C-alpha cells in the first residue's frame, strides 16, 4: 500500500472517530440523526472521490478534519444561550455542502 493511501485511511479513521464522538456526546435526538447523516455523507463522498482522485480526496479530508474539529469543539463547549444551534448548523451545512460538491466532482470525473 502506498503512503498516500495509508495517510488517507488514517485521516478517514480520525474523521470517523471525531464524527462518532460528536454524535455520542450530543445524545440521540432528531438533530443528532440529521448531523449523523451529514457526517456519513461526508465519509462516503471522500471514499468515492478517493477511488478516482486520491490527492483531491486527501486534501478535502484534511480540510474537513480542521473545520469539523472547530465546529465540534464549539458545539461541545461553547453552546450556551442558543449558540449551539449556530455550531450545529455550521457543522451540518459545511459537511453537506462539501459532500455534495465531492459527489458532483466524482460524477463529473466518472462521466468524463
Rg (CA), the chain: 14
Mean pLDDT of all residues in 87-111:
92
pLDDT of residue 102: 93
64 within 8 A of 99, measured Cβ to Cβ = no
Mean pLDDT of all residues in 82-101:
88
Q: State pLDDT tens for residues 6-57.
A: 888 888 898 888 888 877 776 677 877 888 888 889 988 999 988 898 888 8
Q: State pLDDT tens for residues 45-90.
A: 999 988 898 888 888 888 988 998 888 888 877 777 777 788 888 9
- Nearest residue to 4 via CA among 72, 67, 62, 63: 62
pLDDT of residue 3: 60
Residue 110 pLDDT greater than 80, yes or no: yes
Residue 1 pLDDT greater than 60, yes or no: no
Question: Three cell numbers at 80?
Answer: 450556551
Amino acid at each position: 500500500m502506498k503512503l498516500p493511501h495509508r495517510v488517507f485511511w488514517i485521516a478517514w479513521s480520525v474523521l470517523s472517530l471525531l464524527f462518532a464522538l460528536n454524535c455520542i456526546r450530543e445524545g440521540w435526538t432528531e438533530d443528532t440523526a440529521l448531523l449523523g447523516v451529514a457526517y456519513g455523507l461526508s465519509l462516503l463522498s471522500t471514499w468515492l472521490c478517493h477511488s478516482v482522485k486520491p490527492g483531491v480526496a486527501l486534501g478535502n479530508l484534511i480540510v474537513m478534519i480542521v473545520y469539523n474539529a472547530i465546529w465540534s469543539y464549539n458545539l461541545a463547549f461553547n453552546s450556551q444561550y442558543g449558540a449551539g444551534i449556530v455550531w450545529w448548523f455550521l457543522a451540518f451545512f459545511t459537511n453537506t455542502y462539501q459532500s455534495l460538491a465531492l459527489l458532483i466532482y466524482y460524477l463529473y470525473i466518472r462521466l468524463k
